[in-house]
Amino acid sequence: MAFSIGENVQFKDGGPFMTVSNIDGDGYVYCEWFDDHNDRHTDKFREDLLIHAEITDAHPTAAPSL
């Protein structure tokens, strides 16, 4: 599965949404993400462990009442 820098991904079995920051020629995808404490993390993962992810707004802003 081909990924692009800046694309959103996550593990096939779930986990945090991550952003692809680099891709090497050996099948590894470098990712960045923030945890629940807003701490930034970076790591590399085998490409076959990841899927494309579409991030939706988990906390939509309430519409103003009229």
Give the pLDDT confidence of 8-62 residue by residue, as tens digits: 999 999 999 999 999 998 999 999 999 999 999 999 999 999 999 987 765 444 4
Q: Which position has the higher pLDDT, 43 or 65? A: 43
pLDDT at site 34: 95
* Whether residue 66 has pLDDT greater than 70: no
The residues, ordered by sequence, that sit 6+ positions from 19 with a Cβ below 8 Å of its Cβ are: 6, 7, 8, 9, 31, 32, 33
Residue 60 is predicted with a pLDDT of 47
Whether the Cβ atoms of residue 17 and residue 10 lie closer than 8 Å to each other: yes
pLDDT of residue 64: 52
User: What pLDDT does residue 55 have?
Assistant: 77
